[in-house]
Amino acid sequence: MRILVTGGAGFIGSTLVYQLVVLDGEVLVIDDLSTGDFANVDPRAEFRKIDVASPEFVEAAKKFNPDVIVHLAAQASVAESTKNPDETFRVNVGGTRNVIEAAKVTDCQRVVFASTAAVYGDPERLPLQEGDPKKPINPYGQSKLDAEKLIDDELRPAGIDFAILRFANVYGPRQGLQGEGGVISAFAQALAQGDTPFIEGDGKQTRDFIYVSDIVFGLISVIGGDIDFAGDPQTQEDPGRYNLGTGTSTSIAEVGASFRMAAQFFGKYGKAPAREGDIKESVLDFTRARQTFEFLPDVDFNTGVESTYNWFKARYESEHPEAVHDDEFLI
């Protein structure tokens, strides 16, 4: 199978690419390296440094002629989206337009799109189901919701299958400090370096944290699945959308408690103001994904936190961090 992965040098993308090449997939990674790292890309994959929102992307896709496009490239920082919404929409909506165009002019059979729980905004009820109201409270969430609509409006009439995966807060080795699970990497990096982490806001805000390998195995199930993931608008509310989370709510204060165990840290955490545009609560109901493609997260939170901390610690303590074998820390 020929698989094009946008954002394949990033945290989730590079972890996915590694698994795909292990499974003998023929993979093209397209990434502009604005947040990704070329060192993360498995050498068995082909790589092109291209902005997904540029015309060059469609030409590269035509040349590769993928069976499946996995669209992970995004401006994923909520804070950055409030500072620079135009760039967020350029990348997240404009990039998705290009992915759609690429799917139409190649032999692509399916587009797998990484969306986000941020499309729901502050929830009216928990856990969140796919058909619940979508009221994004920041440009990042709105840009992803707009991209979802583009995919449905353009690919369904074209007869190209699609799956829109609404990720919860993903964390794990290789994660940067931005993105929706960035609080985990911020704690891990600070503690690995001997610094004091900060809790933003009152610490009572909750998230559904999911380990990166669980997300990757969900992605792989959809990439190779032999069913119609787009669903039927006549029989399903918000068809083609799937929540990928754990169904478990964890507060930021509980994140701090988990890191105390992982890092044996017994000092006081610092305090910082809450971030602009952050939602207060979020937890996802993944029943549809479980029933459709047997998605079932496997890594418990404390185990995932320990693995993430150990990766950051190994990288910090090594004289040659690029030589640290990331796969040793994946569960």
Q: Give me the active site residues, please.
A: 140
Q: How would DSSP label each residue in 7-61?
A: TTTSHHHHHHHHHHHHTT-EEEEEE--SS--GGGS-TTSEEEE--TTSHHHHHHH
CA angle 110, 112, 118 (to 5 degrees): 150
Strands 270-272 and 198-200: parallel
10 contacts: CB under 8 Å, gap ≥ 6: 31, 35, 36, 37, 40, 72, 73, 176
Element (H, E) at 5: strand 2-6
CA dihedral 231, 236, 239, 242 (to 10 degrees): -100
CA angle 304, 306, 310 (to 5 degrees): 120
Neighbour count for residue 133 (Cβ, 10 Å): 11
Distance CA 100, CA 106 (A): 10
Structure tokens at 73: 């490239």
Distance CA 105, CA 57 (A): 12
Structure tokens at 316: 């910090």
Element (H, E) at 3: strand 2-6
Q: Please identify which residue in the block is written with the tokens 């891990």.
A: 188
Structure tokens at 61: 């896709």
